[in-house]
């Protein structure tokens, strides 16, 4: 199938980044969200990030203007029905994602491909609740989408080869590299990354090191560009906890048990950068470790 126009559900951190990438690659993009404020913030972020790319000579001003002209927004989910491809990028909660696909279904073209940017939820299960499980895939962008070169492609048990080949070509057109993953909890990147972050939280919880020493140790001792606790704040502690719960529930292995301290931070609303507090406090001029 020739993909020309793309509908994106969600204008948040991941949704606006995905829209940015598709628009720069020449696709017509329509972003949907439940509030005009969310759409306005998403567009503002896209403009700011494209301006940064222009200033760093990654793209030209003409590229920026053409890409922004390809982006439209809507509060009506049904307006995405004419899209060739839909990328769901809503909250990492299965009930929300399933409800979105259910609401979309009556308005879709027969040939529309559905994808989810989920970082951990079963693609097979999400697909089974639609009328086209053979044309349903996981399309997991890394954060921030305009910068990170990888996209995980996840086939559900019913995904047909034509859909897979189409999405492989789309990822290539975006200038990204695809890593194909089987549909098991958290796929590849988060299956490996989140237990490491969870272990860093246990290391903090057990008093082996403080926030600063843990992050410094992994940056200078293991060559990581960000420390695991700094990265957890960037991802969002609620998302980290949700992925660990998916791993723990789906694989029934105690090594995936979420650290109680991670749960406590989420209960406190200390979700990381987006909340102003997490393992670091971001409310001042410089981030300050919270422990």
From the annotation, which residues make up the binding site for NAD(+)?
10-15, 33, 92, 97, 119, 143, 274
> Catalytic residue among 119, 120, 122, 198, which?
119
Phi, psi of 277 (to 5 degrees): -145, 145
Which residues line the annotated binding site? 10-15, 33, 92, 97, 119, 143, 274
Does residue 79 carry a catalytic annotation? no
Q: How far apart are CA 183 and CA 122, in angstroms?
A: 6
Contact by Cβ (8 Å): 156, 148: no
Residue among 177, 124, 181 at smallest CA distance from 154: 181
Does residue 82 carry a catalytic annotation? no
In the block, tokens 């971001």 appear at: 282
Does residue 119 carry a catalytic annotation? yes
The number of angstroms, rounded, from the C-alpha of 5 to the middle of its chain's C-alpha atoms is 20
> Catalytic residue among 49, 89, 120, 190, which?
190
Q: Tokens for 34? A: 């439940």
Residues 6 or more apart in contact with residue 97 via CB below 8 angstroms: 88, 90, 91, 116, 118, 121, 126
| Burial class of residue 100 in the structure, from the number of CB atoms within 10 Å of its CB (0-12 exposed, 13-18 middle, 19+ buried) | buried
Residue among 15, 21, 18, 40 at smallest CA distance from 92: 15
Residue among 154, 113, 167, 148 at smallest CA distance from 20: 148
Does residue 152 carry a catalytic annotation? yes
The number of angstroms, rounded, from the C-alpha of 167 to the middle of its chain's C-alpha atoms is 17
Maximum CA extent, the chain: 56
> Catalytic residue among 20, 83, 116, 140, which?
140
| Burial class of residue 61 in the structure, from the number of CB atoms within 10 Å of its CB (0-12 exposed, 13-18 middle, 19+ buried) | exposed
> Catalytic residue among 122, 152, 198, 230, which?
152
**Which residues are catalytically annotated?**
119, 140, 152, 190
């Amino acid at each position: 199938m020739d993909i020309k126009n793309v509908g994106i559900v969600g204008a948040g951190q991941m949704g606006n980044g995905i829209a940015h990438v598709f628009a720069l690659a020449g696709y017509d993009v329509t972003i949907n969200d439940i509030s005009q404020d969310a759409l306005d913030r998403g567009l503002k972020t896209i403009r700011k990030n494209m301006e940064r790319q222009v200033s760093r000579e990654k793209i030209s001003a003409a590229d920026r203007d053409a890409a922004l002209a390809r982006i439209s927004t809507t509060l009506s989910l049904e307006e995405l029905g004419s899209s060739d491809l839909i990328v769901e990028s809503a909250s990492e909660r299965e009930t929300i994602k399933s409800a979105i696909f259910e609401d979309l279904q009556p308005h879709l073209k027969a040939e529309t491909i559905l994808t989810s940017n989920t970082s951990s939820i079963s693609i097979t299960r999400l697909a089974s609740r639609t009328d086209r499980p053979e044309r349903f895939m996981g399309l997991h962008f890394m954060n921030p989408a305009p910068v990170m070169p990888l996209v995980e492609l996840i086939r559900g048990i019913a995904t047909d080869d034509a859909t897979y080949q189409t999405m492989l070509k789309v990822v290539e057109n975006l200038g990204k590299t695809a890593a194909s993953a089987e549909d098991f909890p958290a796929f590849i990147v988060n299956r490996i990354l989140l237990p490491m972050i969870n272990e860093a939280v246990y290391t903090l919880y057990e008093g082996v090191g403080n926030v600063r020493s843990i992050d410094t140790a992994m940056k200078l001792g293991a060559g990581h560009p960000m420390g695991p606790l700094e990265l957890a704040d960037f991802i969002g502690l609620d998302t980290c906890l949700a992925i660990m719960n998916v791993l723990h529930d789906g694989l029934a292995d105690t090594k995936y048990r979420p650290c109680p301290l991670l749960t406590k931070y989420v209960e406190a609303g200390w979700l990381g950068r987006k909340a102003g507090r997490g393992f670091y406090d971001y409310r001042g001029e410089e981030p300050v470790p919270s422990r």
